[in-house]
Structure 1
């Protein structure tokens, strides 16, 4: 593939990765805080689906296209912006993996609450707090990666 095509795929997949994450976080957080159990069950179900459809493929595509772009452009892998991009990408990933596990459990908790006609259980709220705390460093890590990809500072 030529450089422009790979770069386009890299930018497009980063947009899907970041956009899906930000959108999912916004809707899941604010729907949960509304305490509307039925709405929360629906939104959490779709957040889990969005992770499988959009986030997971882009998490795989990002490093593949990124490393190929580095190769095509002839950048040394030891460039500080590349090293920091990789480190921060792994930070975001390390935050995302437990979030995915929690979202799957939260989906079940919300669905069970709907079926029992009960409020969301305390464990749902405990997971939501951890989910938010993990989302904050993941968000900022990816914002910095975006900057590093564009600016490529020495």
Structure 2
């Protein structure tokens, strides 16, 4: 049972971190075209991939991580690496909820207004820079959490 939960946990980490990085990569390139249809399509896919990959990654991480703890009888706060890994994971989630989600919602609303070919407004591009900056900030704690889970430093 432990290996089952561990597999789910690793799959969740791959989905979450992989989606965070690759979504930023292709969104940057889509936004740089300034083509209204391309930018609007990319923005819509940010929402879709967040629901599918980020959401399922978070779910699998939580189920797998706490499932491993439950099966092994380990207290989630008993080990430093485990505490700091969880803290980094939840800190990333707070950043995501407070800054990334509202920015994505604002961009999605704007993208619907220019999807038919109207010019991409500079306000959308400014929000894109904000989204990218907060996305990087929220990804760093995920990488720290990943390190903590793999290296298990004392």
Do both share a fold (TM > 0.5)? yes
* CA distance in structure 2 between the partners assigned to 1:58 and 1:140 by the alignment: 16
Report whether the alignment pairs 1:91 with 2:95: no
* CA distance in structure 1 between the partners assigned to 2:69 and 2:137 by the alignment: 25
Task: After TM superposition, list the pairs within 5 Å mapping 1:3-152 onto structure 2.
Answer: 3-76=2-75, 77-97=77-97, 98-115=99-116, 117-152=117-152
* CA distance in structure 1 between the partners assigned to 2:88 and 2:59 by the alignment: 15
Root-mean-square deviation (Å): 1.6
Does the C-alpha gap of structure 1 residues 71 and 114 become closer, same or farther in structure 2, counting only changes over 3 Å? closer
Provide the TM-score with structure 2 as the length reference. Answer: 0.89
Compute the displacement of 1:146 (Å). 1.1
Point out the more displaced range, 122-131 or 37-46. 122-131
* CA distance in structure 2 between the partners assigned to 1:151 and 1:70 by the alignment: 17
* CA distance in structure 2 between the partners assigned to 1:94 and 1:123 by the alignment: 24
Compute the displacement of 1:137 (Å). 1.7
Structure 2 stretches lacking a partner, 5+ long:
none
Q: Deviations over 1:108-128 (max 9, x none)?
A: 21231233x332123212211
Provide the TM-score with structure 1 as the length reference. Answer: 0.89
Compute the displacement of 1:72 (Å). 2.7
Compute the displacement of 1:61 (Å). 2.7
Matched residue pairs, number?
152
Structure 1 stretches lacking a partner, 5+ long:
none
CA contact (8 A) 1:48 1:100 kept: no
User: What SS does the aligned partner of 2:153 have?
Assistant: coil
CA contact (8 A) 2:15 2:54 kept: yes
